[in-house]
Amino acid sequence: MGNGASEEAPSISPQLCLGDSPKKIEMMACNDNSVMILTPTKNVEVRNFDGTSIIKPLNLQPTCCCATRSGGWVIGFNSGHLSEFDNSFQLLVSYRTPGNFRAHEGSVLLVLENEDLTNEGFYHLASIGSDNSLNFWSKTGNHLYKFKFEPNFTSLCLTSCIAYLADDHQHIHSVNAEKFNSYTVNLPCNAKSIGSLGERDLILAILENGTVSIISPNQVIIKFQFLNNPS
């Protein structure tokens, strides 16, 4: 590089090719063996890494999905239903709030599994609905806690016992599934994205003003500025 010559970037090839992409993909989820693809239809497609695939017709319109560590899938629907299936698409659990027959009063917008489920008292899933609610669920389908928020959410990330919810009103809400309480951290601007740091329930937040902050459940611990606004 010292003589001013540029080096050609190395070519990168995919490890696997799972076939042509559908014309419109609503959401995807991936586990160690396969990829789930949601499209605007009621059919759910799972493409396995061994080259096989499954198309499962459903009675309801799916809106979101996530993979589970056990090899199964959780699917949310526009009707507010939330269901967990094994890898053969056998129904395992239907999640319902008390006195209701569904998980949310509106469409299920996002569902995530708690990847650090090490204690019985911690939650298994967190789901967000168009009814402006964040729900925590146990492994057996019991509803643990509901958090209501007013503005629209922009992103969600999970730690071992806390869900961090960013909204479009310059807030990050930390919702504790173990203590069943919440705290709101005020920001100078909206967060572009948030992600777990994996230690002490801290997260990293990239803000629209080009700053990056490390945030605890109740405060901004440190912030620093990028020279260029990160994408």
Residue-level pLDDT, tens digit, the chain, 231 residues: 445 555 666 777 666 777 787 889 999 999 999 999 999 999 999 999 988 999 999 999 999 999 998 899 999 999 999 999 998 899 999 999 999 999 999 999 999 999 875 655 579 999 999 999 999 999 889 999 999 998 789 999 998 889 999 999 999 999 998 888 999 999 999 999 999 987 678 999 999 988 999 999 999 999 988 766 555
Q: Measure the CA–CA gap between 69 and 224, rounded to whole angstroms.
A: 35
Read off the DSSP letter of residue 218. Answer: S
Burial degree of 53 (CB within 10 A; 0-12, 13-18, 19+): middle
Return the bridge partners of 129, or none. Answer: 108, 133
DSSP state of 53: E
pLDDT at site 121: 52
Looking at residue 228, its pLDDT comes to 65
CA pair distance 198, 5, nearest whole angstrom? 41
Residue 199: per-residue pLDDT? 67
The bridge status of strand 153-158 relative to strand 143-148 is unpaired
CA–CA separation, 73 vs 87, rounded Å?
7
Question: How confident is the model at residue 1, as a pLDDT?
Answer: 42
Nearest Cα residue to 172 out of 111, 220, 221 = 220
> Is residue 6 exposed (0-12), middle (13-18) or buried (19+ Cβ within 10 Å)?
exposed
Residue 220 is predicted with a pLDDT of 94
Detail the DSSP E strand segments found in 89-142: 91-95, 108-113, 125-129, 133-137
